[in-house]
């Protein structure tokens, strides 16, 4: 029932959300007239786009919906084959295994860095992307790709703590990662199930960098995570959205972009960015090596940087835009929301994930497996299994002997 | 001539099996016994630390001279070499594996206990009712697997339907989701039909006259069951156990959805090696291989019961 009410509320809010751009619609600038959009039209070009789920504006039947893909196809005459991935790691595994050809991928910054290091990305010809001029200078030349040779920022956000105000004691300090270790909330805490994010939170709590390669610091983080495991209700990713919305848990780390939607849907929820610093993530558009239609991909990137497209995508996704022009066209209410566009102070303390050396990545994953695997292995499990196996084999033999005797008689 | 023709007819399936079963199986074996190791350009094996040092120096040099990425050519190359390290490393994950086997065993035993009387009851029913009951058994399987498991999430949650019901009487809320019990429940719910169907298909072949003959000879109800029905249904029991145990032991999604990731099973662990951060298909394959051996062992135990090698029909 709760779910149904929730779904209804969600529907109403999405409907309502769509009313906002209506007023702004006529003011939105049209696509750049001096760009040769349809130069590849009529050549049967198919563009394979691989993106996160729910990460582009689509037409869901609401009034005045904006279908990004359909608009792009109409404008350029290029056909788009659009598919989704669920995590950076899935994307990486797909590309690494080969056998698939994508022209556009939208990984997060640390995966961009890793892919650059491993030579998995094509350089982008910036002459084909004049819309880079709309970009906020703060999102040009980021640490993971200093010259923007391989990536163009699409959306960004921060990670914070989403909490249920009816379940969390107002006396407690939510602006610290420590609250995720507070025993008062045993079995009321959700945690990220992805090793990098989980370790990131533990490292920040201990005052270390997200990108540490120091084994001692990582061991300490693993110990903290083991300690936390006794309090954690579940290790999840996207499920946080539903579980927090339905009041299943009191506290969870989550992405700011989704927090905007969640706090709007459920007034009991609130969001805080911990003082110790947080993760700033930037999802960027890249062209993987082996892309069949590099030029079409560049046209697509340029299209995604169009202010009009950016505005619609922003309203749809709820994440923050790296484009200065798009920000100007957004409603003041959105731009002034501290969840989506936090103070400079927060951003100054925020840190992006960088690509880690192989040895560190392996260490983190090993430690993470240790953390997760711990509880299941109660000490009596091994002897119990042994006794079971022995009993089974004795049983079989006895049974056989008995049967033989019966047959013999 | 007919022999050749029948061989030709089996061709498509043989091709299918070779391409999609034998080859992947071999690939898993290859992955499990190999790893990538650093070599220098002359083909000499390097120690890990040595290679890391060389690469660090290279990187410093490149950055200093601002060599573009395309022109950077490392003196260290990665090559695939034979190793048993992966298999040895699986030892570290033994508790997780035993935990999975244990949970799958519990689920299988409960399935058997539930399914056996039910299958017997159905097999003794009137023909029309039999069809009806079988359809009821199959009905949940018409729905998507994920959807069925998702429904259990809604039921078991703290604010879920079951806890709300208990809440009416002032009880609870009980912690049901994210426990081992919830994972086992998910396994039982999802795989129970695979136990019922082979049992039914064997039992339906037991003629009523056989049972009547035993009764005429003075066998009590209990001994009819234990000395006639059970021995005759052994093939169904073994294939039922196989059909429930194997998917239960390797499941990943049930433990993730109902166990909340706090009860990691071997399926999750394998998933983590392929789609996780570290991306270690070699270790993932090694774990899969060890699991396969384990399953084979378990199967050989159950098959020992089935001496007639009849094998209950599945579905």
Residue at which a domain ends, from B50, B84, B118: B84
Q: Cβ of A372 and B158 within 8 Å?
A: no
pTM for the full model?
Answer: 0.78
Q: Are residues B31 and B126 in the same domain?
A: no
Q: What pLDDT, on a 0 to 100 scale, did the predictor assign at position A376?
A: 45
Q: Which two tokens stand for residue A401?
A: 């002997």
Domain count, chain B: 2
Distance from CA of B175 to the nearest CA of A (A): 9
Q: What is the pLDDT of residues B166-187, one digit of tens each?
A: 888 888 778 888 888 999 999 9
Q: What pLDDT, on a 0 to 100 scale, did the predictor assign at position B288?
A: 92
Q: Are residues B239 and B140 in the same domain?
A: yes
Q: Are residues B95 and B199 in the same domain?
A: yes
Q: Are residues B239 and B105 in the same domain?
A: yes
Q: Are residues B214 and B158 in the same domain?
A: yes
Residue B313 lies in a domain: no
Tell me, what CATH number does B285's domain have?
Answer: 1.10.3720.10
Q: Are residues B300 and B213 in the same domain?
A: yes
Residue A409 lies in a domain: no
Q: Are residues A38 and A121 in the same domain?
A: yes
Chain A residues inside the 8 Å CB shell of B261: 193, 234-236, 372
Interface of A with B in 358-397 (CB under 8 A): 359, 361-362, 364-366, 368-369, 372-373, 375-377, 381-382, 384-385, 388, 392-393, 396
- Domain range for residue B30? 2-84
Residue A380 lies in a domain: no
Q: Identify the contact set of chain B against chain A, taking CB-CB distances under 8 A.
A: 48, 52, 69, 93-96, 98-99, 101-102, 105, 154, 157-159, 175, 177-178, 180, 256, 260-265, 268-269, 272, 274-280, 301, 304-305
Residue B227 lies in a domain: yes
Q: What pLDDT, on a 0 to 100 scale, did the predictor assign at position A343?
A: 86
Q: Are residues A147 and A223 in the same domain?
A: no
Chain B residues inside the 8 Å CB shell of A89: 275-277, 279
Q: Cβ of A373 and B95 within 8 Å?
A: yes
Chain A residues inside the 8 Å CB shell of B69: 116, 119
Q: Cβ of A392 and B102 within 8 Å?
A: no
Q: Are residues B151 and B220 in the same domain?
A: yes
Distance from CA of A181 to the nearest CA of B (A): 16
Q: Are residues A287 and A254 in the same domain?
A: no
> What is the pLDDT tens value at each position of chain A, 409 positions in all?
455 555 556 555 555 555 444 444 457 888 888 898 988 888 889 999 999 988 898 887 777 788 999 999 999 999 999 999 888 888 988 888 877 789 999 999 989 998 988 888 999 999 999 999 999 988 888 888 888 899 999 999 999 999 999 999 988 999 999 999 999 999 899 999 888 899 999 999 999 999 999 999 999 999 999 999 989 999 988 888 888 988 889 999 999 888 888 888 899 999 999 999 999 999 999 999 888 889 999 999 999 999 999 999 988 888 899 999 999 998 888 888 888 888 888 888 888 888 888 889 888 988 888 888 754 445 565 566 667 777 877 787 787 778 778 776 5
Residue B99 is nearest to which of A193, A235, A381, comparing CB atoms? A381
Residue B314 lies in a domain: no
Residue B48: closest CA among chain A residues belongs to which residue? Answer: A359
Chain B residues inside the 8 Å CB shell of A392: 301
Residue A395 lies in a domain: no
The answer on pLDDT for B202 being more than 60 is yes
Establish if A399 touches chain B: CB-CB under 8 angstroms.
yes
Q: Are residues B76 and B119 in the same domain?
A: no
Q: How far apart are CA B249 and CA B234, in angstroms?
A: 22
Q: Are residues A31 and A116 in the same domain?
A: yes
A-B contacts at Cβ under 8 angstroms:
108
Tell me, what CATH number does A110's domain have?
Answer: 3.40.190.10
Residue B312 lies in a domain: no
Bridge partners (DSSP) listed for residue A323: A135
Residue B15 lies in a domain: yes
Q: Are residues A20 and A131 in the same domain?
A: yes
Residue B102 is nearest to which of A232, A233, A385, comparing CB atoms? A385
The answer on pLDDT for B219 being more than 70 is yes
Distance from CA of A308 to the nearest CA of B (A): 35
Q: Are residues A54 and A37 in the same domain?
A: yes
Q: Are residues A108 and A187 in the same domain?
A: no
Q: What pLDDT, on a 0 to 100 scale, did the predictor assign at position A336?
A: 86
Q: Are residues B17 and B155 in the same domain?
A: no
Q: Are residues A135 and A7 in the same domain?
A: yes
Residue at which a domain ends, from B84, B111, B131: B84
Best mutation site among B262, B305, B308 for testing chain A: the one with the most A CBs within 10 Å?
B262
ipTM confidence score: 0.76
Q: Are residues B117 and B213 in the same domain?
A: yes
Q: Are residues B110 and B18 in the same domain?
A: no
Residue B116 lies in a domain: yes
Q: Cβ of A393 and B269 within 8 Å?
A: no
Residue A354 lies in a domain: no
A192-206, B147-161, B272-286: range with lowest mean pLDDT: B272-286
Burial class (CB in 10 A: 0-12, 13-18, 19+), A339: buried
| Nearest alpha-carbon partner for B175 in B269, B249, B266, B262 | B262
Q: Cβ of A187 and B175 within 8 Å?
A: yes
Interface of A with B in 212-241 (CB under 8 A): 229, 232-236
- Domain range for residue A271? 157-279+359-373
Chain B residues inside the 8 Å CB shell of A194: 277
pLDDT averaged over chain B?
86
Interface of A with B in 324-363 (CB under 8 A): 357, 359, 361-362
| Mean pLDDT value across residues B283-299 | 86
Distance from CA of A344 to the nearest CA of B (A): 31
Distance from CA of B92 to the nearest CA of A (A): 9
- Tell me the DSSP string of chain B: -HHHHHHHHHHHHHHHHIIIIIHHHHHHHHHHTEEEEEEETTS-B--HHHHHHHHHHHHHHHHHHT--GGG---SEEEEEEE-SHHHHHHGGGHHHHHHHHHHHHHHHHHHHHHHHHHHHHHHTS-HHHHHHHHHHHHGGGGS-HHHHHHHHHHHHSTTSHHHHHHHHTT------TTSHHHHHHHHHHHHHHHHHHHHHHHHTTS-HHHHHHHHHTT--HHHHIIIIIHHHTHHHHHHHHHHHHHHHHT--HHHHHHSTTSS--HHHHHHHHHHSSS--HHHHHHHHHHHHHHHHHHHHHHHHH-TT---PPP-
Q: Are residues A152 and A77 in the same domain?
A: yes
The answer on pLDDT for B315 being more than 50 is no
Q: Are residues A126 and A28 in the same domain?
A: yes
Residue B40 lies in a domain: yes
Tokens 């200065």 identify what position?
A324
Q: Are residues B147 and B110 in the same domain?
A: yes
Q: Cβ of B98 and A381 within 8 Å?
A: yes
Residue A397 lies in a domain: no
Domain count, chain A: 2
Work out the percent of chain B whose per-residue pLDDT is above 70.
Answer: 95
Residue B210 lies in a domain: yes
Q: What pLDDT, on a 0 to 100 scale, did the predictor assign at position A129?
A: 93
- Residue A232 main-chain phi, psi, to 5 deg: -80, 130
Q: Are residues A58 and A135 in the same domain?
A: yes
Q: Cβ of B301 and A392 within 8 Å?
A: yes
Q: What is the pLDDT of residues B81-138, one digit of tens each?
A: 888 888 888 877 888 888 888 899 999 999 999 999 999 999 999 989 999 999 999 9
Residue at which a domain ends, from B84, B99, B126: B84
Q: Are residues A7 and A146 in the same domain?
A: yes
């Amino acid at each position: 029932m709760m779910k149904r009410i929730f779904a209804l509320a969600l529907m109403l809010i999405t409907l309502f959300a769509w009313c906002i751009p209506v007023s702004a619609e006529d003011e939105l600038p049209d696509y750049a007239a001096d760009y040769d959009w349809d130069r590849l039209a009529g050549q049967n070009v198919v563009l394979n786009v691989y993106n996160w789920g729910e990460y582009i504006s689509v037409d869901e039947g609401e009034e005045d919906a904006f279908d990004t893909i359909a608009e792009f196809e109409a404008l350029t005459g290029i056909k788009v084959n659009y598919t989704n991935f669920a995590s950076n790691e899935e994307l990486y595994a797909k590309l690494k295994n080969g056998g698939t050809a994508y022209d556009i991928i939208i990984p997060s910054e640390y995966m961009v860095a890793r892919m650059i290091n491993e030579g998995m990305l094509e350089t982008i010809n910036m002459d084909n992307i004049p819309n880079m001029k709309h970009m906020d200078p703060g999102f040009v030349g980021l640490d993971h790709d200093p010259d923007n040779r391989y990536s163009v920022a699409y959306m960004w956000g921060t990670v914070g703590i989403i909490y249920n105000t009816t379940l969390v004691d107002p006396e407690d300090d939510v602006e610290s990662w420590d609250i995720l270790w507070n025993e008062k909330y045993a079995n009321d805490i959700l945690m990220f199930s992805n090793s990098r994010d989980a370790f990131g939170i533990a490292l920040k709590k201990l005052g270390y960098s997200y990108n540490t390669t120091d084994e001692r610091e990582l061991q300490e983080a693993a110990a903290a995570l083991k300690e936390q495991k006794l309090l954690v209700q579940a290790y999840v990713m996207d499920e946080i959205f539903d579980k927090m919305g339905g009041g299943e848990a009191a506290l969870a780390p989550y992405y700011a972009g989704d927090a905007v939607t969640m706090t709007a849907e459920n007034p009991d929820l609130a969001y805080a960015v911990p003082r110790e610093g947080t993760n700033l993530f930037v999802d960027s558009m890249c062209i993987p090596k082996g892309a069949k239609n590099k030029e079409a991909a560049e046209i697509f990137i340029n299209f995604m940087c169009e202010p009009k497209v950016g505005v619609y995508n922003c309203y749809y996704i709820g994440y923050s835009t790296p484009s200065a022009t798009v920000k100007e066209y957004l409603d003041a209410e959105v731009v002034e929301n501290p969840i989506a566009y936090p103070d400079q102070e927060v951003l100054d303390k925020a840190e992006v994930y960088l690509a880690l050396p192989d040895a560190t990545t392996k260490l983190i994953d090993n430690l993470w497996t240790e953390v997760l695997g711990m509880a299941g292995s109660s000490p009596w499990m091994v002897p119990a299994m042994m006794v079971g196996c022995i009993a089974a084999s004795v049983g079989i033999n006895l049974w056989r002997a008995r049967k033989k005797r019966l047959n013999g008689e | 001539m007919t022999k050749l023709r029948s061989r030709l007819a089996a061709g498509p399936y043989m091709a299918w099996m070779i391409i999609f079963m034998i080859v992947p199986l071999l690939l898993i074996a290859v992955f499990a016994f190999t790893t990538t190791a650093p070599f220098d350009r002359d083909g000499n094996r390097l120690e890990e630390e040595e290679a890391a040092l060389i690469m660090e120096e290279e990187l410093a040099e490149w950055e200093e001279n601002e060599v573009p990425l395309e022109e950077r050519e490392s003196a260290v190359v990665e090559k695939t070499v034979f190793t048993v390290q992966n298999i040895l490393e699986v030892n570290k994950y033994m508790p997780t594996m035993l935990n999975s086997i244990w949970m799958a065993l519990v689920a299988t035993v409960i399935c058997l206990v539930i399914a056996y009387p039910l299958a017997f009851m159905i097999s003794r029913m009137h023909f029309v009712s039999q069809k009806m009951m079988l359809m009821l058994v199959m009905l949940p399987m018409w729905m998507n697997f994920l959807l069925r498991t998702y429904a259990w999430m809604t039921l078991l949650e703290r604010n879920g339907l079951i806890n709300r019901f208990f809440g009416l009487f002032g009880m609870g809320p009980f912690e049901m989701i994210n426990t081992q019990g919830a994972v086992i429940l998910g396994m039982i719910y999802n795989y129970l039909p695979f136990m019922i169907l082979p049992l039914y298909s064997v039992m339906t072949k037991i003629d009523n006259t056989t049972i009547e003959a035993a009764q005429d000879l003075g066998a009590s109800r209990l001994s009819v069951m234990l000395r006639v029905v059970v021995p005759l249904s052994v093939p169904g029991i073994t294939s039922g156990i196989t059909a429930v145990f194997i998917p239960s032991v390797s499941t990943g999604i049930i433990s993730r959805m109902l166990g909340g990731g706090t009860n990691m099973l071997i399926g999750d662990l394998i998933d983590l090696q392929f789609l996780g951060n570290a991306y270690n298909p070699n270790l993932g394959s090694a774990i899969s291989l060890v699991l396969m051996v384990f399953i084979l062992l378990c199967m050989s135990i159950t098959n020992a019961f089935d001496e007639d090698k009849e094998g209950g029909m599945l579905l």
